[in-house]
Amino acid sequence: MQPVDNCACLRERGLLARYGVEEFVLLMPQTGITVAVELADTSVPALLLDRWPVKAGVSVPVTICMGVSALRSDVTSLAELLKRADIVLYQAKSNGRN
């Protein structure tokens, strides 16, 4: 994972990292699932534009999907936590994105 600097949405101890080509992971210690889902729900409109400029005169359409997962007693590894978030992410993608 590559850390991403200067993200206004991070809490004091959060970590935002690039996880794949088009995927990012936001780790928020000591944050309950309700607050995490609220953050995801409010972040989509803040991040979403009709098109994002990539260079002078060129822009691309953007959609955003998020998957939220919480660390629970039955989650035994970071890999399992990410797998659960990934499952929800792909459900959001299949439901039309954004």
In DSSP terms, 55 is beta-bridged to: 58
| Residues 56/79, Cβ–Cβ less than 8 Å | no
How far is it, in rounded angstroms, from Cα 80 to Cα 20?
17
Determine contact, residues 3/15, Cβ cutoff 8 Å.
Answer: yes
As given in the structure block, the two tokens for residue 85 are 């978030």
92 forms bridges with which residues in the sheet?
none
Mark whether 38 is an active-site residue: no
Among the listed residues 22, 23, 38, 80, the single catalytic one is 22
Which sequence positions are flagged as catalytic?
22
